[in-house]
């Protein structure tokens, strides 16, 4: 039993129940398996993709204006891109507003969720708690705005595939069920926490069988699974876009990659070339 | 005040919004195709002459190869979230309304195929992520729409991840070339350059004669023997300039400007007949090998002539290759003088000369013009100048303001890094694409019309050979004379007074001068 979790939570696999698995136990085990698989796929999938991005050379210097001339400048540029969505702000205010509400709402909500995974809860996670409530609304509002835009704005509808709508619907589903549990259909939070802390310690406790909770966490697992094979890779991908991450110093420092170095050499002087 | 203006009917008229988004019109530009390359020219560039029998296999393999060799290609294809921020940023979409000219839609033409063959989602759930098989129709569509992109990178500035459609369109053209589907304009020109050293196929004798003619003109005008040296061994500076500077208007006047500046600065310089071309169309077709080969000639010429410095003339994409790629492609330039940037832009040279007070300038010589400046995309978004960030925007304006009294910028969102392309860049400056070129120039032209209306701007200056040619062709369609586009160094040439210059010849402007001085 992890420290701090009250002793009266029963593990379905320890003690009296033995081999007879009830419906609840099957559900608990299923979700446990789902989360283990989802976590592995997320970490391995994203890790593999990031490894591939990092390994792939960028043969030429292609920073796009306004391009910083120093490494420090690039770090600041990227911080502004990640924290402020600077380029998006300059290029489209509506998408920026909705995108910003959604992402930073989601960030705060995620931080708030850390309380289900830490015992004792970290102090700063405690501080985040009250904001989390507004953040949930912000996230939903942002997602709603993005979905609406995707449907009503002709240009964006033109470039959308089914997966683009489904992704938003999935996220709205996650946020929506979360809010439902908060305001309408309360769940046994203490037991949920025990379940996830149990998973972190490789123990399968009992998950509350509220359908809303099961949809909520099931959708999160699905999101984790599709993350590495979907456009959600934009989050790590951003840090590998040469147009934004390269330093504008091509004249000062020679940029060269391996495959280019291995190209057949060209003649140094003109005469040789004419003969060849 | 404003009310008064309105009453007197003198308030500036609104001529149109350069950013106005058209109604989507599917297939509007589907029939606008540039001519296919002659098989011979494809082969000159190391590509198959005609469409291969197993083209599908080869094309897919090529996409896989590019994803391995080019991080930008792989990351950009993966990370687009279809947010739509770029959809209204392309001048070709704004000008044509064809949705496949929206940057993300243009990327998707290739992304859909990449997904089908290289990603989990596309292999198993193609309908979900819009993945599709590579068919002949798809290949044709690539040819059409990747030759409706001037690789200007305006969309990249707008994208939250910097996704650069230019990279995708270069890659697509390379895939097309690799299966034997080349474009006439680009491939013919590269083939010509490999034979003669310039895009025009101008041989050294003809070049020599042209330069001599220009020297005569200069001497007639100034009374001073200003030289345009060719193949002078041991000169300090090798000038690499687009071959259009040798014959086209207003390019030539820019070349005369460089010559005057070099003369006034008292440096020795030369043009090379072997590398008599700054343009590098290898970039347009996305071929690293061809771009390297073309760039390499500059290295060879510099070594052969024993120069100490390399200076580039006014050319947009050439400067991108010069500034951003040359060191990579043909470096290291350890045999040149390390006290100067390698290579240096003529604008940097002139700006320094102005700072140092080397140039004697009479601004009033340009009083007949009310100027604005077109930031050429490849200079604006693909390179830089000077020591400060943003020098590529500030230096040309600084030089212009130093030689002209009347200067006004166009609307903020249409200049500097947000500049609109002229509509003819990226290997599209060919008559078979004239319809596209005229429509693609619309946003730029609308911004120009507005500044003409507001400030009485009469002329626009640019530092790109392609921009200049394109504008002189399309400006008449928008109510301007074809000579409303000027070279920046043409204005420099007008204003610079050389030591010992015989000003008496020029009676009209001379009268102006004296009267100005008397005041
Ligand atoms: C480094 C972290 C991240 C950054 C900088 C970032 C940035 C962005 C930006 C700028 C956009 C485009 C604007 C918009 O549509 O909102 C976007 C879209 C999106 N992001 Fe993120 N993001 C990050 C992490 C995430 C994560 C972790 C998720 C998933 C749970 C996510 C899900 C989405 C989705 C679904 C969209 C598309 C919205 C639509 O369909 O319009 N993002 N992101
Ligand atoms: S690079 Fe320029 S021409 Fe090409 S899609 Fe982007 S904005 Fe349009
Ligand atoms: S702005 Fe970037 S992420 Fe958004 S649709 Fe365009 S290319 Fe994709
Ligand atoms: S021709 Fe000029 S405006 Fe057009 S893409 Fe090239 S640099 Fe840009």
Domain boundary among B142, B158, B182: B182
Are B161 and B205 in the same domain?
no
Are B145 and B210 in the same domain?
no
Task: Please report whether residue B365 resides in a domain.
Answer: yes
> What is the count of residue pairs from A and B with beta carbons less than 8 Å apart?
217
pLDDT under 50: residue ranges of chain B: 1-9, 504-519
Task: Please report whether residue A164 resides in a domain.
Answer: yes
User: What residues of chain B lie within 8 A of the CB of A57, using their CB?
Assistant: 69-71
pLDDT of A55: 96
pLDDT 10s digits, A137-175: 999 999 999 999 999 999 999 999 999 999 999 999 999
> How would you write A15-30 as a 3-class SS string?
CCCCCCCCHHHHHHHH
Dist. CA B331–CA A25, nearest whole Å? 68
- Centre of ligand 2 to C-alpha B379, Å, is 15
pLDDT of A131: 84
Task: Please report whether residue B12 resides in a domain.
Answer: no
Q: Which of B88, B304, B389 sits opposite A66 (nearest CB)?
A: B389
User: What residues of chain B lie within 8 A of the CB of A250, using their CB?
Assistant: 323-325, 327-328
Residue A5 pLDDT level (bands cut at 50, 70, 90): very low
Q: Which of A155, A164, A248 sits opposite B88 (nearest CB)?
A: A155
Q: What is the mean pLDDT of residues A253-260?
A: 95
Task: Please report whether residue B13 resides in a domain.
Answer: no
Are B368 and B474 in the same domain?
yes
pLDDT of A271: 63
User: Any idea what the Cα angle at residue B177 is, between residues B176 and B182, rounded to 5°?
Assistant: 95
- Centre of ligand 2 to C-alpha B85, Å, is 13
- Centre of ligand 3 to C-alpha B105, Å, is 9
CA distance to partner chain B, nearest, from residue A261 (Å) = 10
Q: Which of B24, B74, B82 sits opposite A154 (nearest CB)?
A: B24
Q: What is the mean pLDDT of residues A199-213?
A: 93
pLDDT 10s digits, B298-339: 999 999 999 999 999 999 999 999 999 999 999 899 999 999
Q: What's the CATH number where B161 sits?
A: 1.10.1060
Task: Please report whether residue B250 resides in a domain.
Answer: yes
Task: Please report whether residue B26 resides in a domain.
Answer: no
Are B79 and B201 in the same domain?
no
* Dihedral, CA of residue A63, residue B341, residue B486 and residue B18, to nearest 10: 20
Task: Please report whether residue A167 resides in a domain.
Answer: yes
Strands of the B459-462 sheet, one edge to the other: B371-373, B459-462, B485-487
Q: Which of B89, B328, B341 sits opposite A91 (nearest CB)?
A: B89
Kindly report the protein residue whose alpha carbon is nearest to atom 8 of ligand 2: B90
Q: What is the mean pLDDT of residues A40-51?
A: 98
Q: Do B82 and A53 touch (CB under 8 A)?
A: no
User: What residues of chain B lie within 8 A of the CB of A162, using their CB?
Assistant: 127-130
Interface residue A254 vs chain B (CB under 8 A): yes
Residue A18 has pLDDT above 50, yes or no: no
CA distance to partner chain B, nearest, from residue A240 (Å) = 7
Q: Do B323 and A251 touch (CB under 8 A)?
A: yes
Query: What number does the ligand 1 atom closest to the CA of B81 have?
Result: 37
Interface residue B127 vs chain A (CB under 8 A): yes
Are B45 and B115 in the same domain?
yes
Pocket test for ligand 4, best of B376, B382, B419, B437 (most atoms within 8 A of CB): B376
For ligand 3, whether the C-beta of B79 sits within 6 Å is no
Q: What's the CATH number where A231 sits?
A: 1.20.950.20
Q: Which of A64, A163, A273 sits opposite B156 (nearest CB)?
A: A64
pLDDT of B13: 80
DSSP SS3 for B328: helix
Residue of A nearest to B338 (CA): A252
Task: Please report whether residue B515 resides in a domain.
Answer: no
pLDDT of B8: 46
- Centre of ligand 4 to C-alpha B169, Å, is 15
- Centre of ligand 1 to C-alpha A103, Å, is 6
Interface residue A233 vs chain B (CB under 8 A): yes
Are B198 and B163 in the same domain?
no
For residue B407, the cross-strand partners are B371
Task: Please report whether residue A55 resides in a domain.
Answer: no
Q: Give me the number of domains chain A comprises.
A: 1
* Lowest-pLDDT choice from A30-39, A165-174, A184-193, B427-436: A184-193
Are B167 and B266 in the same domain?
no
Structural domain boundaries enclosing B132: 39-182
pLDDT of B196: 86
Task: Please report whether residue A276 resides in a domain.
Answer: no
The model carries a pTM of: 0.92
> Please, how many CA atoms are within 13 Å of residue B335, restricted to the half-sphere of its CB?
13
Pocket of ligand 4 (CB under 6 A): B 150, 152, 316-317, 376-378, 421-422, 424-426, 464, 466-467
User: What residues of chain B lie within 8 A of the CB of A253, using their CB?
Assistant: 327
CA distance to partner chain B, nearest, from residue A244 (Å) = 6
User: What residues of chain B lie within 8 A of the CB of A166, using their CB?
Assistant: 128
- ipTM confidence score: 0.91
Are B230 and B340 in the same domain?
yes
Q: Which of B121, B127, B389 sits opposite A229 (nearest CB)?
A: B121
CB of B19 within 8 A of CB of B420?
A: no
Residue B113 tokens, joined? 């195929």
pLDDT of B504: 46
CB of B102 within 8 A of CB of A158?
A: yes
Task: Please report whether residue A32 resides in a domain.
Answer: no
For ligand 2, whether the C-beta of B391 sits within 6 Å is no
Dist. CA B169–CA A231, nearest whole Å? 20
- Centre of ligand 3 to C-alpha B507, Å, is 58
Q: What is the mean pLDDT of residues A194-202?
A: 94
Q: Is the backbone peptide bond immediately before B491 cis, with ω within 30 degrees of 0?
A: no
pLDDT of B195: 87
pLDDT of A12: 46
pLDDT of B2: 38
Task: Please report whether residue A43 resides in a domain.
Answer: yes
CB of B447 within 8 A of CB of B18?
A: yes
Task: Please report whether residue A5 resides in a domain.
Answer: no
Strands of the B237-240 sheet, one edge to the other: B269-271, B237-240, B309-312, B344-345
**Neighbouring residues of B174: CB distance < 8 A, sequence distance ≥ 6:** B62, B66, B285, B286, B287
Are B161 and B203 in the same domain?
no
Interface residue A261 vs chain B (CB under 8 A): no
User: What residues of chain B lie within 8 A of the CB of A65, using their CB?
Assistant: 157, 380-382, 384, 390, 392, 416-417
Are B166 and B196 in the same domain?
no
For ligand 2, whether the C-beta of B402 sits within 6 Å is no
Pairing of strands B269-271, B485-487: unpaired
Interface residue A64 vs chain B (CB under 8 A): yes
Task: Please report whether residue A127 resides in a domain.
Answer: yes
Are B153 and B255 in the same domain?
no
Residue A274 has pLDDT above 60, yes or no: no
Dist. CA B498–CA B487, nearest whole Å? 19
Structural domain boundaries enclosing A225: 39-47+68-242
Are B123 and B252 in the same domain?
no
**Neighbouring residues of B211: CB distance < 8 A, sequence distance ≥ 6:** B228, B229, B230, B246, B271
Interface residue A14 vs chain B (CB under 8 A): no
Residue A81 tokens, joined? 């891109």
Domain boundary among B135, B152, B182: B182
Task: Please report whether residue B59 resides in a domain.
Answer: yes
Domain boundary among B182, B201, B230: B182
- Centre of ligand 3 to C-alpha B321, Å, is 25
pLDDT 10s digits, B446-458: 999 999 999 999 9
């Amino acid at each position: 039993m992890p420290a701090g979790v009250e002793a009266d939570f029963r593990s379905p696999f320890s003690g009296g129940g033995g081999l007879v698995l009830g419906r609840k136990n099957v559900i608990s085990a299923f979700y446990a398996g789902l989360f283990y698989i989802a976590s592995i796929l997320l970490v391995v999938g994203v890790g593999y993709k990031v490894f591939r991005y990092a390994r792939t050379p960028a043969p030429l210097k292609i920073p796009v204006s306004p391009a910083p001339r120093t490494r420090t400048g690039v770090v600041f540029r990227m911080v502004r891109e990640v924290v402020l969505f600077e380029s998006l702000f300059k290029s489209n205010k509506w998408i920026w507003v909705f995108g910003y509400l959604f992402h930073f709402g989601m960030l705060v909500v995620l931080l708030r969720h850390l309380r289900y995974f830490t015992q004792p809860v970290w102090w700063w996670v405690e501080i985040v708690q009250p904001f989390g409530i507004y953040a949930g609304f912000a996230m939903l509002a942002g997602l709603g705005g993005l979905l609406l835009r995707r449907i009503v704005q002709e240009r964006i509808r033109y470039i959308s595939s089914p997966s683009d709508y489904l992704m938003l619907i999935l996220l709205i589903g996650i946020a929506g069920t979360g809010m439902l549990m908060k305001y309408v259909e309360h769940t046994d939070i203490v037991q949920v926490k025990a379940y996830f802390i149990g998973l972190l310690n490789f123990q399968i406790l009992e998950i509350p069988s509220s359908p809303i909770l099961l949809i909520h966490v099931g959708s999160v697992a699905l999101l984790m699974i599709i993350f590495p094979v979907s456009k959600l890779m934009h989050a790590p991908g951003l840090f590998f876009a040469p147009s934004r991450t390269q330093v504008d110093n091509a004249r000062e420092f020679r940029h060269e990659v391996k495959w280019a170095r291995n190209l057949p050499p060209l003649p140094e002087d003109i005469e040789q070339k004419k003969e060849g | 005040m404003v009310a008064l203006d309105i009453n007197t009917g003198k308030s500036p008229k609104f001529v149109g919004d350069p950013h106005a988004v058209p109604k989507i019109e599917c297939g509007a530009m589907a029939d606008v195709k540039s001519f296919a390359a002659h098989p011979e020219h494809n082969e000159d560039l190391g590509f198959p002459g005609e469409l291969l029998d197993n083209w599908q296999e080869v094309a897919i393999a090529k996409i896989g190869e590019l994803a391995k060799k080019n991080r930008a290609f792989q990351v950009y294809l993966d990370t687009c979230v279809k947010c739509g921020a770029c959809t209204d940023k392309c001048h070709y979409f704004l000008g044509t309304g064809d949705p496949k000219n929206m940057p993300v839609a243009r990327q998707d033409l290739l992304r859909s195929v990449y997904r089908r063959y290289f990603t989990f989602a596309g292999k198993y759930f193609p309908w979900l992520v819009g993945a599709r098989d590579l068919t002949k129709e798809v290949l044709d569509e690539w040819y059409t729409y990747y030759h409706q992109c001037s690789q200007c990178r305006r969309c990249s500035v707008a994208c939250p991840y910097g996704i650069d459609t230019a990279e995708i369109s270069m890659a697509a053209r390379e895939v097309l070339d690799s299966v034997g589907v080349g474009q006439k304009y680009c491939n013919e020109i590269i083939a010509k350059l490999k034979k003669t050293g310039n895009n025009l196929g101008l041989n050294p004798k003809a070049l020599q004669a042209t330069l001599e003619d220009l020297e005569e003109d200069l001497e007639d005008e100034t009374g001073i023997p200003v030289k345009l040296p060719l193949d002078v061994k041991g000169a300090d500076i090798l000038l690499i300039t687009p071959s259009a500077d040798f014959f086209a208007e207003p390019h030539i006047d820019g070349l005369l400007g460089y010559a005057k500046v070099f003369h006034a600065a008292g440096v020795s310089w030369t043009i090379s007949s072997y590398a008599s071309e700054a343009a590098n169309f290898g970039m347009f077709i996305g071929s690293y090998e061809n771009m390297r080969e073309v760039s390499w000639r500059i290295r060879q010429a510099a070594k052969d002539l024993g120069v100490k410095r390399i200076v580039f003339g006014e050319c947009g994409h050439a400067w991108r290759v010069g500034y951003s790629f040359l060191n990579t492609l043909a470096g290291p330039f350890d045999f040149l003088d390390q006290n100067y940037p390698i290579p240096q832009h003529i604008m940097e040279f002139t700006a320094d000369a102005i700072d140092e007070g080397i140039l004697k300038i009479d601004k009033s010589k340009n009083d007949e013009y009310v100027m604005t400046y077109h930031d050429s995309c490849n200079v604006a978004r693909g390179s830089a100048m000077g020591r400060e960030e943003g020098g590529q925007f500030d230096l040309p304006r600084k030089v212009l303001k130093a030689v002209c009294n009347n200067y006004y910028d166009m609307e903020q969102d249409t200049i500097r890094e947000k500049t609109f392309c002229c509509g003819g860049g990226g290997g599209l400056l060919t008559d078979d694409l004239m319809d596209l070129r005229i429509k693609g120039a619309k946003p730029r032209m609308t911004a120009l019309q507005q500044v003409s209306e507001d400030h009485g701007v009469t002329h626009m200056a640019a530092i790109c050979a392609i921009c200049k040619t394109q504008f002189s062709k399309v400006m008449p369609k928008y109510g301007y004379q074809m000579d409303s586009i000027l070279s920046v160094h043409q204005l420099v040439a007008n204003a610079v007074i050389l030591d010992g210059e015989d000003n008496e010849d020029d009676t009209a402007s001379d009268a102006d001068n004296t009267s100005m001085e008397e005041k």
